[in-house]
Structure 1
Amino acid sequence: MWQEISKYGNKLVQQGLVESHFGNISIRDGERIFITARGYALDEITEDGVVEVDVNSPTDRDLMSSTETIVHRAIYQQSRARAVIHAHCPFSVVESLLSDTGLIEPLDSEGKCFLKNIPVIRGQMGSEELAHNAGMALSDHNAVIVHGHGTFATGSSLKEAYVITTQIEHSCRIRYWYDLARKYC
């Protein structure tokens, strides 16, 4: 599993969707979650960079895993997700800061089709509030943006969660440039 997590960690960094030491990735396998370890650079993941934790409750192993483990766990408990990617996509973060409705409505056809409206949720990193809000929102969406923080995208595989992550950023980039152009044209 660590090889697949490493593959998508590299892709996220190469595409500028995260800075190397930020963001996290997980895969659910039955009652287990395989998640990136705390402090590991996503473009340098090795076997030691992935931690196995329980999907139902915290254990001592949570101390070695990402600080967002509580959020990943809530998402798995409240949705059908098999994979989760948390990234710090720059245009997505900007759009979350500009949103005054709690939703980002994609303007591009792919975003409208695959994302619908993207909820903007709140909560501090790794907090119970964020875990609750992400779990609730992702029970009927495939993506959310945490206000001022980043995206959580889900899928039946890491490939699907990665595609959703790239689509969120694409839709937010289009929306940003469109709003800017309208302001000055």
Structure 2
Amino acid sequence: MSAVDELIAAGARLVEAGLSPGSSGNLSIRDDDRILITGTGSSLGRLAEADIAVLDLDGTRISGARSSKESPLHVGFYRRDDAYRAVVHLHSPYAVAASCLEPWAPHSAVPPLTPYFVMRVGQTPLLPYRHPGDPELGRDLEHAPWMLRAALLANHGSIVAGTDMADAVDRGVELEEACRISLLTAQTPRREIDPEGVAELAARWDSPWQPGLSIH
């Protein structure tokens, strides 16, 4: 499957899952020294090749559609770690709701309530609010002081990276579920996985989880 076909299939899956309302969200794949990203205003459920922009690794458009204004987020993730080959940014309802709350801890806005969140996503810090399209969003992500492969953007949504598009989509879906469970259990006596259990899961599944530092 070509990179374009992967983007089209991933967009359809995310819309079917109810995670991309309207024309929100954007996806990208790193293809050698290029980034293929969904174009501005495109609906993830109706993507075609004409909706894909091609950028260089600095985020400069080479060809195709006009790239999403949120391309700095994607560039920031690829600059952060060469292992990342796909990025999913969503305005899904539970992730957006969680991003409007104070974080559970500096290193993760979402608490470790299920093993699957720890295993598949790992700690997910809340990055500072900036208006959509602000280049500083990408720099915040690139230079965040924690190990991470996912983050919540304050009052905005989620962003996750993966080793391929299927990996990134799976993490985006799991993060949305973790945010949903966190919100459903808020303001109630709830049982989190204890630190020893989290450490064991993170080590076994090579998932990022560590004591947090200040974001400042």
Alpha-carbon contact 1:153-1:165 (below 8 Å) kept: yes
SS in 1 for 2:100: helix
Mark the runs of 5 or more structure 2 residues left unpaired by the alignment: 191-216
Letter in 1 for 2:102: S
The 1-side partners of 2:4 and 2:58 are apart by: 21
Picking from 91, 95, 101, the partner of 1:98 is 101
Contact 1:2 1:49 in 2 (8 A): no
Which structure 1 residue ranges, 4+ long, deviate > 3 Å from structure 2?
59-63, 180-183
* Residue 85 (structure 1) aligns with: 88
Cα distance between partner residues in 2 of 1:40 and 1:20: 9
Partner of 1:20: 22
Amino acid paired to 1:113: M
Could you tell me how far 1:65 is from its partner in structure 2?
Answer: 0.6
Moved more, 103-112 or 75-84: 103-112
In 1, Cα distance between equivalents of 2:146 and 2:11: 24
C-alpha displacement at 1:75, in angstroms?
1.4
| Residue pairs, 1:100-119, within 5 angstroms | 100=103, 101-102=105-106, 103-104=108-109, 105-119=111-125
Aligned residue in 1 for 2:134: 127
- Spell out, residue by residue over 1:100-120, the C-alpha distance to the aligned partner (whole angstroms, 9 max, x if none): 444322311111223332101
Deviations 1:16-53 (A, max 9, x none): 11113010000001110000011111111011011111
Provide the TM-score with structure 2 as the length reference. Answer: 0.78
Letter in 2 for 1:114: R
Distance 2:47 2:80 in 1: 28
Assess if the C-alpha contact under 8 Å between 1:62 and 1:69 holds in 2. no
Please list the CA deviations of residues 103-158 of structure 1 after superposition, one character each: whole Å capped at 9, or x if unmatched: 32231111122333210112221112211112223983110010111111100111
- Out of 107-116 and 154-163, give the one that drifted further: 107-116
> Which structure 1 residue ranges, 5 or more long, are not aligned?
none
Q: Is the 8 A contact 2:10 2:165 kept in 1?
A: yes
Q: Is the alpha carbon distance of 1:60 and 1:83 closer, same or farther for their aligned partners in structure 2, counting shifts above 3 Å? A: closer
> How far has the Cα of 1:62 moved from its partner?
9.0
Cα gap change, 1:28 to 1:124, in 2 (>3 Å): same
Structure 2 letter corresponding to 1:175 = S
Identity %: 27
Q: CA RMSD in A?
A: 2.1
Shift, 1:175, TM fit? 1.0
More helix by share: 1
Which residue number corresponds to residue 72 of structure 1? 74
Q: Distance in 1 between matches of 2:112 and 2:181?
A: 8
Measured after TM superposition, the shift of residue 96 of structure 1 is 1.7
CA contact (8 A) 2:58 2:75 kept: yes
Cα contact 1:33–1:53 (8 A) shared by 2? yes
The alignment's TM-score, normalised by the length of structure 1, stands at 0.90
